[in-house]
Structure 1
Amino acid sequence: MNTAVKLTVGSHTDKGRKPLNQDFHDLRIPDDTLLCTKGAAAALADGISSSEVSQIASQVAVVSFLEDYFSTPETWSVGRAARQVLKATNSWLYAQTRRGPERFDMDKGYVCTFSALVLRGRSVHLFHIGDARIYRLRDGVLEQQTEDHRLRISQSESYLSRAMGMDSQLIIDHAVLSAEAGDIFFLMTDGVYEHLLDGDILQTLQASGDDYDGAAEALVNRALENGSGDNLTLMLLRIDALPEQAIDERYKEVIEKPFAPLLEPRSEFDGYRIVRTLSTTSRSHVYLAVDMQTDTPAVLKTLATELQHDRTQVERFLTEEWIARRVSNAHLLKAYPQQRLRAYLYTVTEYVEGQSLAQWMTDNPRPDLETVRRYAEQIARGLLALHRREMVHQDLRPENILIDATGTLKIIDFGSVKIEGIQETVPEREGTQMPGTAHYSAPEYFLGDTGTPRSDLYSLAAILYRMLSGSSPYGLKVARTKQRSEQKKLKYVPLATEGSGVPVWFDKALRKALDPDPERRYEDVAEFVYDLRHPNRAFLNKSRPPLIERDPVRFWQGVALLLGFALVMVAAQCLGG
């Protein structure tokens, strides 16, 4: 029985008569494991000529799609996985434009068209935004399978009506076609299809035989000869063999897998040998295991039994590993390489040998300022990697930060991460507790607001404050505030007291990061950690904190002394009278 997809592929791209090629394309045919659950994928993006950064948008759109799609949970359908990946990428592109100098002119922003094809099993999924095109050739008939998203004003004037990065919301065309051996699919930009006839395509293809790279190049050159003035990109995919129908049954088994059971030390489970339980919480069970195939340690995480019927919790649980695969950074927990199909639903990540920051803080109640700075900088790098992917951790606390044997800090537990643009994948939890814990959660969470990068900044600053003082900047008062007016009354307790060793300018930086109003905090985590090492002039120019803040004991001693002196003077006057 044939269970493999076989393809003949080819492609060619050319900048044509333009100085820069703003197109980008790529293809991925994975190994058997992912080929079964995810299929093979090809993607093409076309930048807009009015933008000087559109070629970046094209590359990001294609690379992100091919990387992120194959990292999505295997339980997601093709359509769902592709839509979530594209929406996340669109959100990032749109945000880059809004942060740039041309924030009000999308024609000069990070904008591109996008078309992709995913072949899984015996079905072809098409995803399309913009005016590139996908054609199918079957039985000698060439048919356009996508619709151009272009608004025509006149015969000579038209505009893109849809594109990646054009708007915060993305509408994606998704079509599903049945696949047959011998089908040939063409993905091409307008610089190609506007200058080719169907006869040109059929004759060139027939003359090229199995040399599809040569066929693609010949068709691009023909379009150039016919007067194309745009960038030109063409991809060809011929389906030579398809799996038997049984492959769909195999996939059905994959998406209907049971949840992993409770595991015991020394037991064998799905190719792993369980060593010991690392933690057990109301949300999950975490185990140290060894991959019996590679003898490599790994961490297995299973969902708590009582949450397995909670759709929201299941979605969050399955999304954790995808996040670990999407963002690669030395200060974020990495996903374990997926080398085989799993028989159960669970996640696997790298094993970090070391201790939590919470334990380190218990063992080191009086850390020096330089250590606090170094730790802050490492945590900030991990947060920035998330923020640049339009993600907010939302549950940053010492228990979710590990320190390995080399002193490297890694942020773990992505169960509360908010991914901008795809909230339908990880919906807000109604009727459940907010993300994070009272000591480290930003005040806006207690008002029911969603998290932003400034919320993560607050949590980082709260951790540093606790490292230096052993307490929280506002105690537990934040958790009791339910209105913005109440939060404005919160009083920050300064650290820069006499003999504390904390410079005033350092304390001012902490105070700004811990402001109850997120709009008054730093805009970026990087700006905050910079000020922890480099005295901010704005803080240096401010007057020295009043004595009641620097040393409350001495202040009240002075008040008592003055009152005593005043009483003595009054008594003396009375006696003299």
Structure 2
Amino acid sequence: MTIHCLDHSALQAAVGHGPDLPEQAARIEARWLPGRGGRPAVLLLALLWGRRCPEVVRFLERSLAALFADYQATPQAWSETQALRQVLAALNQQLFGQRGSGALLPEVSAGVLLLQGDEATFMQVGDCGLLRWREGVLQSLNGRESAPLGVQAELGLIQHSLPLSPGEFLLLAPQPLLAVADLELFSAGCRAATPAGLSALLQPLLVAPGAAGVMRAGSLASVQLPAPVETLPVLATLAAGEHVEGWAVQAPADFGPSGRFWWAEQEGEQAWLWLADRPVDELFRQREWVLRRAPCPGLPLLRPRAEPRRHALQVLRPLPGRVLSLAQWRRENPRPSAAQALALLRPLLTAVRALQRRGVLGLVLDPQLILLNEQGQVCLLPEQAACWPGVPRQNVTPAQLPLAPEVRAGQPLDGRCDQFSLASLCYWLLGGEWPALALGDGSQQARYDPLASAGRQLPNGWDGVLARALAPQARARFDALSEFQQALERPLSDAARLKPQAWPQPWRFALLGALMAQLLLALLVTLI
């Protein structure tokens, strides 16, 4: 049995855990965190209860550490409850993906209690519950057996808002532990409890396996903590052999942003370190959480962290096998076929759609920041875009990379601006040059230069499809990325369907003749 106490003039709390079973355990942690936007400080109690997994304790401890680290890395524009919901949703998404890939994971239930001012917010996922003792009356918010973390793609979250009164008690624990608890003994303990005696309330509960936290409310309205000043340095220089955020730096990658993409290793696991080119700010946080909440095969996967960030960087899960940038691949394949170009474009279309659903528009598609491996996996590193959620519009005007005219001109944007960039990338893949319409120094009177006139072998109609997607006016383009993709795929599927059947080879006729001769001979023998 382990119990820790948090004492404050406005509130007292105690958390602890009891014995662990071979495949079942629970862990709980409580921390004071600064409020946002001038609001009072927050006391955050997080409980994770897992079962049916051999290494459940290690898993729970790492997940709890990651939960607090992720909360502190959320955009400051988010409220405390919004940040907590997003962190739980990201954890659910991560576990769902790992479970889908065959990883052995425990069934994890979560209960999170956020105390701020004179109000408590309780979020429960799965089988964690809350008891509330107030003026001699015990109220129960039961957990649920269904929908633990990572079982379904969408987070099955129930949220409760509770006004707090001085002197009331809140008890957070797994529902099975609450089901066997002596509630009369707990109520009697609440009536007689002293500020220093909260651990005595937990001791009878923690004889059984599980974890619990108890809190005695006061007034938190006056509790203030200094907001963290993130002076996270930009790693302008890095060398092999250094250690950053617990990762051993190995070598610079010859793809990705120049000088800011490194191979690293930790406990036998490989990772990419993506260094920022400026200190951590709201744009950095918003971009990171767009990636966290928009998982798809064409976007990078961020590795979970167990400690708050100390540098302006992100740690990514690498693609397996030999990896090239799209620029390197194009140099090795100077005349790709239309089928190859479309195979590369499909995951990029999926990635751009996922980013657009998160409010990202006007992406800069740099071939050096598009990675692919020998298995055909593609990964887009979205570093620059005109519009990101939660921040003012960004000024992106790279002269040598494609952008829609409305992005360069600072005009209102919709999803068709990214259709223009994707069509420019397809044109570059097939022709080796960017279309004049897409470059900043292009003439306002520039027209589409057909690839077929340059001797490129294209499926019927592709020049027309690309010309429409590269129209200077957004209203002349396809209405959606899906229409653009279908227009590219249709000529290839039609050509495959109408492809004439090859005549059988001569040896097939010889074999057929020999078989027929044997059948005729057998028939004659039977007649004789």
TM exceeds 0.5? yes
Q: Does 1:469 align with 2:431?
A: yes
Offset of 1:347 from its aligned partner?
2.0
Q: For the structure 1 residues 136 and 518, does the alpha-carbon distance in structure 2 shift closer, same or farther, using more than 3 Å as the test?
A: farther
Aligned residue in 2 for 1:183: 170
Change (3 A) 1:497 1:322: same
CA distance in 1, matches of 2:72, 2:398: 24
Contact 2:44 2:112 survives alignment (8 Å): no
Aligned to 1:456: 418
Aligned to 1:548: none
2:393 to 408, 411, 428: 428
Question: CA separation in 2, counterparts of 1:361 and 1:180?
Answer: 69
1:407-456 alpha-carbon deviations (Å, 9 max, x no partner): 2111113453734xx43xx2224xxx416554311111121125432111
CA change 1:523–1:284 in 2 (3 A) is farther
Q: CA, structure 1 residues 270+442, in 2 after alignment: closer, same or farther (shift >3 Å)?
A: same
Could you tell me how far apart the structure 2 residues matched to 1:327 and 1:374 are?
21
Q: Does 1:443 align with 2:443?
A: no
Query: Equivalent residue for 1:101?
Result: none
CA contact 1:394–1:451 (8 Å) conserved in 2:
no
Taking the aligned partners of 2:31 and 2:271, their CA distance within structure 1 comes to 20
SS in 2 for 1:452: coil
- Structure 1 residues 301 and 39, CA gap change in structure 2 (3 angstroms): farther
Aligned to 2:352: 383
Tell me the residue number matched to 2:341.
Answer: 372
| Aligned match of 1:326 | 293
Secondary structure of the residue aligned to 1:300 is strand
Q: Which residue does 1:518 correspond to in 2? A: 474
Q: Secondary structure at the match of 2:364?
A: coil
Closer, same or farther in 2 for the Cα pair 1:364/1:376, shift >3 Å? same
SS in 2 for 1:317: helix
The reply to whether residue 276 of structure 1 matches residue 238 of structure 2 is no
- SS of the aligned residue for 2:401 comes to coil
Does the CA-based 8 Å contact 1:327-1:385 persist in structure 2? yes
Query: For 1:441, what is the secondary structure of its paired residue?
Result: coil
% of aligned pairs identical? 22
Contact kept, 8 Å, 1:254 with 1:343, in 2: the verdict is no
1:230 equivalent in structure 2? none
Q: Counterpart in 1 of 2:195?
A: none
CA 125–322 in structure 1, closer or farther in 2 if over 3 Å, else same: farther
How has the CA–CA distance of structure 1 residues 299 and 519 changed in structure 2, closer, same or farther, with 3 Å as cutoff? Answer: same
CA spacing shift, 1:298–1:465, aligned 2, 3 Å: same
Gaps of 5+ in 1: 9-28, 43-66, 88-115, 129-133, 144-173, 186-205, 212-237, 244-248, 538-577
Question: How far apart are residue 366 of structure 1 and its match?
Answer: 0.8
Which of 349, 353, 358 matches 2:327?
Answer: 358
| Counterpart Cα distance in 1 of 2:286 and 2:413 | 18
Counterpart secondary structure, 1:289: strand
The CA deviation at 1:465 is 0.2
Correspondences of 1:126-525 after superposition (within 5 Å): 126=121, 138-140=134-136, 182-183=169-170, 240-241=214-215, 256=230, 258-259=232-233, 261=235, 262-278=237-253, 285-291=260-266, 294-304=267-277, 307-308=278-279, 314-352=281-319, 353-392=322-361, 394-416=363-385, 418-419=387-388, 422-423=389-390, 426-429=391-394, 433-434=395-396, 438-474=400-436, 478-479=440-441, 486=444, 489-497=445-453, 499-525=455-481
**CA distance, structure 1, for counterparts of residue 385 and residue 166 of structure 2:** 39
Instruction: Measure how far apart 1:400 and its partner are.
Output: 1.9
CA distance in 2, matches of 1:437, 1:496: 26
Report the residue type matching 1:287 in the other structure. Answer: W
How many pairs are equivalent? 364
Shift of 1:285: 3.1
Distance 1:209 1:314, change over 3 A: same
- Hey, what's the Cα distance between the residues in 2 that align with 1:359 and 1:6? 54
Looking at structure 2, the residues matched to 418 and 209 of structure 1 have their Cα atoms a distance apart, in angstroms, of 57
Residue 529 of structure 1: SS of its match in structure 2?
Answer: helix
Mean Cα deviation higher: 272-281 or 350-359: 272-281
- The aligned residue for residue 22 of structure 2 is none
Encode CA deviations 1:22-65: one digit per residue, 9 max, x unaligned.
Answer: xxxxxxx99759997994589xxxxxxxxxxxxxxxxxxxxxxx
Letter of the 1:427 partner, please give it: P
How has the CA–CA distance of structure 1 residues 535 and 280 changed in structure 2, closer, same or farther, with 3 Å as cutoff? closer
Q: Say if 1:71 and 1:326, in contact at 8 Å, map to a contact too.
A: no
Residue 119 of structure 1 corresponds to 114
* Residue 239 (structure 1) shift: 5.5
5+ residue gaps, structure 2: 7-12, 18-25, 35-42, 48-65, 87-110, 124-129, 140-160, 173-180, 187-211, 218-222, 494-528
Residues 495 and 266 from structure 1, CA distance in 2 versus in 1: closer, same or farther, beyond 3 angstroms?
Answer: same
Q: 2:5 matched to which residue of 1?
A: 2
**Which amino acid in structure 1 is aligned with residue 244 of structure 2?**
F
Instruction: Note the C-alpha offset of 1:463.
Output: 0.5
In structure 2, give the amino acid aligned to 1:119.
L
Per-residue CA deviations over 1:64-87 (Å, capped at 9, x if unaligned) read: xxx999856526559536457989
Distance between the aligned counterparts of 1:255 and 1:138, measured in 2? 38
Q: What does residue 192 of structure 1 align with? A: none
- TM-superposed CA distance for 1:295, in Å, is 2.0
- Partner of 2:89 in structure 1? none
Q: What secondary structure does 1:322 align onto?
A: helix
| Alignment CA distance shift 1:519-1:534 (3 Å) | same
Q: RMSD over aligned Cα, in angstroms? A: 5.2
Q: Secondary structure at the match of 1:534?
A: helix
Matching residue of 2:52: none
Q: TM-score, normalising length from structure 2?
A: 0.55
Helix, strand or coil: the match of 1:460? helix
**One-letter code aligned to 1:359:** Q
TM-score by length of 1: 0.51
Distance 1:456 1:350 in 2: 26
CA offset at residue 283 of structure 1?
A: 10
Q: Is the 8 A contact 1:513 1:522 kept in 2?
A: yes
Q: Alpha-carbon deviations, 1:330-363, whole Å to 9, x = none?
A: 1111101223344444321112350111111122
Letter in 2 for 1:266: G
